[in-house]
A and B are shown apart, each in its own frame.
Chain A
Amino acid sequence: MSDLPIWRRLQPVAALVLVVALIGIPLWLVVATAGKSQGEAIDPNLSPPTEWHLWDNLRQVWIDADVPAALFGSLLIVVPTVAGVLVLGSMAAWVLARRGSRLTAVLYALGISGIILPPAVVTVVLLLRQLGLAGTAIGMIGVYLGIYLSTVIFFVTGFVRTIPSSLEEAAQIDGAGPVAVFRKVVLPLLRPVLATATILICLYVWNDVFYAFFVVGGRLDTLPLNLFRVASAGLYLNNWHLIFAYVILMSLPLVAVFAVAQRKIISGITGGAVK
């Protein structure tokens, strides 16, 4: 169908119209509203601001909404979570993929069940209290590890199966122990799948508000929790210009990361998902 002459002519027009209508309009609303004064932004619409206050609004949100503290909270949780799931998840996945016993098959099924089953958000709070981790960054990191280890175990196990084990055997013959083999041979080979997993987990954890609300809500601030608070107060006060200034601040880091690593991410995601 795609090489019909009329289609070849119409396709670029259709693509352009769709991008403008579906993506351009909502994004423009964000930028335009974030650039307006409070009076102009009360009823958000698509008209451009009579005078641009984007920079002022960004600065006001940065200071009034305590963005630096929330940014610190987000980083404090995202960085160890991502490092933890990647290292511990690939350690487990490597052994699961290489050992072919009944036990490992059962453990594998258990390990990836978290992809489908929803986490128990309420009782995890009780458990954290019993462990003395309620409201702490460590507790939050533990909960995210519990949720996202499944994703990493699944992706990496599938990937290890495609790597010939002869590469490891060469190192083993040279006398390398499992830790050295894993660190020097396996981990470097896993780079493509780990890149994909990093993006996915970053995306989930950076943007999460639901689990964060239960575990650290009110005790530790993260960017989405903070946005939620600003917006909950702001919708009442009609501070749309500040809400959207916040949205810009919060989305930019991820969009920037994505823009830099674009091609790799796309091939990683699609390569892993559809075989």
Chain B
Amino acid sequence: MTTAIGTLTKARALPKAAPGTITRRTHPLWFLLPAYALLLVFFVLPTVYQFIYAFTDWSGFKASINPVGTENFAQLASDGTLFRSLRITLVYAVLVAIFQNVFGFGLAVLLERDTVLNRIARTFFLIPVLMSALAVGYIFQALFKGTGLLADTTWTIVVVSLIHAWKWMGLAMLIYLAGLKTVPLDVLEAARIDGASRWRTFWKVRAPLLAPAVTFNVATALLGSMNGFDIVQATTGGGPARTTELLNIFIYRTFGQGLFAQATTMSLVLFLMVVVLAFPVIRLLRKREEVMS
């Protein structure tokens, strides 16, 4: 996925296959048709709709839908919901990105050698990745019941982001392991002959080569947690006192109340936040990758 994200920002040129008549006959454009028709109807169109229906009074209580200007935004901003949910989602995303990468990296370094025990251990760390996030949420709700960990208005957001990171750390570990294995042995040998300590070799030779893995892991953690819902819904339901109410939880709750336009407005806000944040973050990471490697 690193390469995909790079392509989005750098618009890397596709390889120049012989254009013209031959390609037209051997790789016809109509092969794109079904996939792009579906993308257009089920992905692009609803996204365009967001920019329209966020400015209406669409709800479950009225038969007609009328334009109301920026009323939804004004209301969400004035009662504090908009900025609170945005802040909570951002804090959650950043915490998840940090925890998931620290855990994943630590596990990869710990389980790097290909021993039988390590192989088994790696498989165990992949079980949470396979489980539904909803199930993970219930497990930790049960585990933390009575501890007060899920009832603190300040720290619960940290606890839920730790749970999210716990679920996905196995995947981060896999990516880091793949990165660690790509380091050529002769480079390591050269470093050793030059008298570099193990510590120095690790941080100066191996770690920089992990840059693509970092990009992938940070980007997927950020994007995944900005779209987070299941884990938080199952552990806290957005509480206590709405301190863990991510944008998607707000959207889910508001939609359930029949306030469709408000839910759309928040969905549009989430879309815009991802557009504004994801691209610069990915560009930054790609740039750092180039500098380091």
Give A residues with C-beta under 8 Å from B: 1-4, 11-12, 14-16, 18-19, 22-27, 29-30, 33, 43-44, 88-89, 91-92, 94-101, 104-105, 107-127, 131, 142-143, 145-147, 149-150, 153-154, 158, 161, 165, 168, 172, 178, 181-182, 203, 206-207, 209-210, 213-214, 224, 227-228, 231, 235, 240, 243-244, 247, 250-251, 254-255, 258, 262, 266, 269-275
Contact = CB atoms under 8 A, between A and B. Distances in A.
A274 B213 contact: yes
B239 to A, nearest CB: 13
B227 A118 contact: yes
27 contacts: A2-B109, A2-B112, A16-B121, A19-B124, A26-B140, A91-B32, A92-B31, A95-B32, A96-B14, A100-B17, A117-B274, A118-B270, A122-B255, A123-B53, A127-B46, A143-B42, A146-B38, A146-B41, A147-B43, A178-B27, A178-B31, A209-B134, A228-B134, A231-B138, A255-B127, A258-B126, A273-B216
Most buried by B among A1, A250, A251: A1
Interface in B1-59: 1-5, 7-8, 11, 13-17, 19, 23, 25-29, 31-32, 34-36, 38-39, 41-43, 45-47, 49-50, 53, 58
Contacts of A25: 143
A214 B264 CA distance: 12
Contacts of A153: 35
B166 A275 contact: no
Nearest to B142: A44
B267 A121 contact: yes
Interface string B156-184: 00000000001000010011011100100
Contact of B46 (A96, A120, A251): A120
A2 to B, nearest CB: 6
Contacts, number: 293
B135 A118 contact: no
Interface size, B (range): 35 or more
A14 B32 contact: no
A218 to B, nearest CB: 10
B96 interface: no
Contact of A97 (B14, B16, B25, B143): B14
B90 interface: no
Nearest to B131: A251
A43 B145 CA distance: 8
A272 B213 CA distance: 11
Given A111-B35, A244-B142, 18 more contacts: A12-B117, A26-B128, A27-B127, A89-B35, A95-B29, A95-B32, A98-B27, A100-B13, A115-B5, A116-B278, A122-B260, A124-B46, A127-B45, A181-B26, A244-B139, A254-B131, A274-B175, A275-B3
A10 B8 CA distance: 44
B199 A1 contact: yes
A227 B26 contact: no
A126 B41 contact: no
Interface in B234-269: 234, 248, 251-252, 255, 260, 263-264, 267-268
